[in-house]
């Protein structure tokens, strides 16, 4: 595990950066703080609602023992194509919003041994404390939009693809060997705290100060509402 500094974060402080070997261990997970930028090396596999429904709702046996794939599950849609000789081109991997899959995660953690979910946007602290904390897992979020090609550079090899015909390119299980794969932000920690919810609370506590000294808006509106208490930042 390496350490370093990236860009400036809240208050101008350097963002902590860590390079982590997969599969994750208790030691590497406990050392991760909210907002740390993480780069991964090892093996990750993709899996989202198509996979969860097939395995957990329909009771279909996974195509391979899940623990053999490591413990990093990426919620994403690969930008991939199949060549005539059966090989694959994979230029980018675009994360998808993970909150849609929360209802499957307690079961998924139990059968897969997964310790980290990678995706976009995160979940709620209630989800983290209900599904993640009891299973010793955390959430890593992509950084902004349009990073699919950047993440694609970190994919060194497509090890396997499962259920491509059954689920299609976006929903199939892609097993990827990665190196310097990231950056991802630590969105939840081992206690179930959320980076995004924490920062949202800080912003909302101070939103009134943005209007200090300004005249009342002519239309009595604040964004999409007439009540400042309903305003979404």
Listing DSSP states for 131-182 in one string gives: IIGGGT-EEEEE-SSS-HHHHHTTEEEEEEEESHHHH-TTTSEEEEEEEEEE
Neighbour tally for 32: CB within 10 Å: 21
Calpha distance 162→106 (Å, rounded): 22
Calpha distance 35→189 (Å, rounded): 10
Q: Has residue 205 got a pLDDT over 50? A: yes
Neighbour tally for 109: CB within 10 Å: 20
Stated as kind and residue range, the H or E segment containing 205 is helix 195-205
> pLDDT-derived band of residue 19, with 50, 70 and 90 as boundaries?
very high
For residue 162, give both structure tokens: 């499962």
Stated as kind and residue range, the H or E segment containing 202 is helix 195-205
What pLDDT sits at residue 207?
A: 75
3-state secondary structure of 11: helix
What pLDDT sits at residue 53?
A: 98
Backbone φ and ψ for 41, nearest 5 degrees, come out as -140, 130
pLDDT over 70, % of the chain: 87
Q: Has residue 121 got a pLDDT over 80? A: yes
Q: Has residue 134 got a pLDDT over 50? A: yes
pLDDT in tens, 63-87: 999 999 999 999 999 999 888 888 8
Q: Has residue 8 got a pLDDT over 50? A: no
Q: Has residue 60 got a pLDDT over 60? A: yes
Q: Is 207 buried (19+), middle (13-18) or exposed (0-12) by CB count in 10 A?
A: middle
């Amino acid at each position: 595990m390496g350490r370093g500094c990236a860009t400036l974060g809240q208050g101008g402080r350097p963002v902590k950066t860590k390079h982590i070997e997969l599969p994750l261990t208790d030691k590497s997970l406990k050392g991760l703080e909210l907002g740390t930028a993480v780069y991964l090396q090892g093996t990750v596999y993709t899996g989202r609602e198509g996979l969860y429904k097939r395995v957990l709702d329909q009771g279909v046996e996974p195509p391979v023992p899940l623990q053999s794939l490591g413990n990093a599950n990426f919620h994403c849609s690969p930008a991939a194509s199949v060549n005539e000789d059966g090989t694959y081109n994979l230029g980018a991997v675009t994360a998808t919003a993970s909150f849609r899959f929360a209802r499957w995660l307690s079961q998924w953690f139990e059968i897969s041994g997964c310790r980290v979910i990678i995706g976009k946007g995160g979940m709620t602290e209630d989800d983290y404390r209900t599904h993640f904390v009891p299973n010793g897992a955390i959430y890593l979020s992509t950084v902004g939009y349009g990073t699919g090609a950047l993440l694609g550079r970190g994919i060194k090899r497509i090890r396997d693809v499962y259920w491509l015909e059954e689920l299609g390119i976006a929903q199939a299980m892609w097993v990827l060997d990665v190196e310097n794969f990231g950056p991802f932000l630590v969105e939840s920690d081992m206690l179930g705290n959320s980076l995004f919810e924490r920062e949202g609370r800080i912003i909302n506590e101070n939103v009134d100060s943005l209007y200090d000294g300004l005249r009342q808006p002519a239309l009595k509106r604040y964004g999409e509402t007439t009540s400042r208490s309903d305003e979404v930042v």
